[in-house]
Amino acid sequence: MTTLALDRPELHPISRKGLPAYPNGWYAIALASELPRGGVVRRHFMGQEIVAFRTQSGVVSVIDAYCPHLGAHLGYDSTVEGETIRCPFHYFCFDTEGICVSTGYGTKPPPKAIISAWPSREKNGLLLVWHHVEGAPPEWEIPDLDTGDYHPLINRQWDLTSHPQETTENSVDIGHLAIVHKYDDVEMLSDLNTTGPYLNVSYAMRRGAGLAGQLMGGIRSEFEIHVHGLGYSLVEVKIPRFNIEARLFVLPTPIDAERITLRVAVSARKVTQPGKIHSALGFLPKPLILPILNRMIPPYVLDGLAHDVQQDFEIWQHKVYFAPPILAEGDGPVGRYRQWVKQFYCGNPATSF
């Protein structure tokens, strides 16, 4: 960012939940597929207006939305021209760094005609933007995944009254899994581990899925959770009974001090051995059954994720934030999570966690 965020008090308000509204880190603003070459999207992001565009050569840029000339919003009726975005008002063009490179009059661009650009990355099918309350450049990166054996991402999203720290706390709130989500036999497979901005925990649980699940005494699923800051969680799910594997992404992105867009996305592993899903399927010709299974499974997994995450909505939207929390045996490592999250805030020493 070319403008220091410290000069911009709107970037660090305290939310209704008592938390600084915008923890530092990477946040998803779109699936990468939502932004084709020549495409422009607009977002309300951390109390500001931003736009993302993809140039004709494929480079993505995320910049503040307002044209520094006379203030038009670049999210409405702008066009991508080559490697620039063109403002609809007087045809000033800005490159991917936000620098004005031409005007609609063929005159010299004013040297001060610069738009703040946000650090951004395309990672694992997502378009991510870095936010730091003091305007610091990215301090860590989201790891790349090998996506070769996986279907493209599909997603769903909701706007909610909540905060990324609150939704991400779900990953360590083991106690609510049986109560809110009705999972049985919740079993920790590995304890919470943290390294810098990365948090890892894994567990298994069982739940009946329809009549088949009930008859089999519930289907066991294993979850390994990789949290990279408060805006990006990857859950690797395995359902050994059906040999199904999928990557679930849970992506809360602040809209303003009170609201987030909660985006969930799924990338399922491509099925190659139908007989492992059910022995009867192994007798069918693969060219017949594989396309059907590969069409059915990704939306099935997304439906399951959307169903589960929606069970938390009423609680998230109406709860308050208590710090420090009063914890009980059976809660899971919420206390250690609250210690870990402190690193994503700065400039708010009065806040307790």
62, 115 Cβ separation under 8 angstroms: no
Task: Please list every residue from 147 through 186 that binds Fe ion, using CB under 5 A.
Answer: 170
Of the candidates 12, 17, 69, 228, which one interacts with ligand FES according to CB under 6 A? Answer: 69
Binding flag, residue 192, ligand FES (CB under 6 A): no
Q: Whose Cβ is closer to ligand FES: residue 42's or residue 156's? A: 42
Binding flag, residue 93, ligand FES (CB under 6 A): no
Binding flag, residue 92, ligand FES (CB under 6 A): yes
Task: Please list every residue from 96 through 135 that binds ligand FES, using CB under 6 A.
Answer: none
353, 338 Cβ separation under 8 angstroms: yes
3-state secondary structure of 342: helix
Of the candidates 8, 49, 89, 161, which one interacts with ligand FES according to CB under 6 A? Answer: 89
Binding flag, residue 264, ligand FES (CB under 6 A): no
To which residue do tokens 């390294």 refer? 195
Q: Whose Cβ is closer to Fe ion: residue 181's or residue 336's? A: 181
State both tokens at 196: 């810098």
Binding flag, residue 53, ligand FES (CB under 6 A): no
Q: Among ligand FES, Fe ion, none, what does residue 92 contact (CB within 5–8 Å per kind)? A: ligand FES
Q: Whose Cβ is closer to Fe ion: residue 212's or residue 327's? A: 327
150, 159 Cβ separation under 8 angstroms: no
- Residue 238 CA to residue 117 CA, distance in Å, equals 39
Rg (CA), the chain: 22
Q: Whose Cβ is closer to ligand FES: residue 69's or residue 228's? A: 69
- Residue 87 CA to residue 232 CA, distance in Å, equals 32
- Residue 271 CA to residue 266 CA, distance in Å, equals 15
Q: Whose Cβ is closer to ligand FES: residue 100's or residue 271's? A: 100
Q: Whose Cβ is closer to Fe ion: residue 65's or residue 235's? A: 235
Q: Among Fe ion, ligand FES, none, what does residue 260 contact (CB within 5–8 Å per kind)? A: none
Of the candidates 67, 174, 186, 271, which one interacts with ligand FES according to CB under 6 A? Answer: 67
Amino acid identity for residue 205 in this structure: M
Binding flag, residue 42, ligand FES (CB under 6 A): no
- Residue 239 CA to residue 66 CA, distance in Å, equals 47
- Residue 24 CA to residue 189 CA, distance in Å, equals 29
**Interface segment toward ligand FES; rule CB under 6 A; list 19-27, 89-97, 133-141, 268-276:** 89-97
- Which residues, at least 6 apart from 166, have a Cβ–Cβ distance to it below 8 Å? 17, 19, 316, 319, 321
State both tokens at 114: 């610069």
**Residues of the shown chain interacting with Fe ion in the complex, contacts defined by CB under 5 A:** 170, 312
**Residues of the shown chain interacting with ligand FES in the complex, contacts defined by CB under 6 A:** 67, 69-72, 87, 89-90, 92
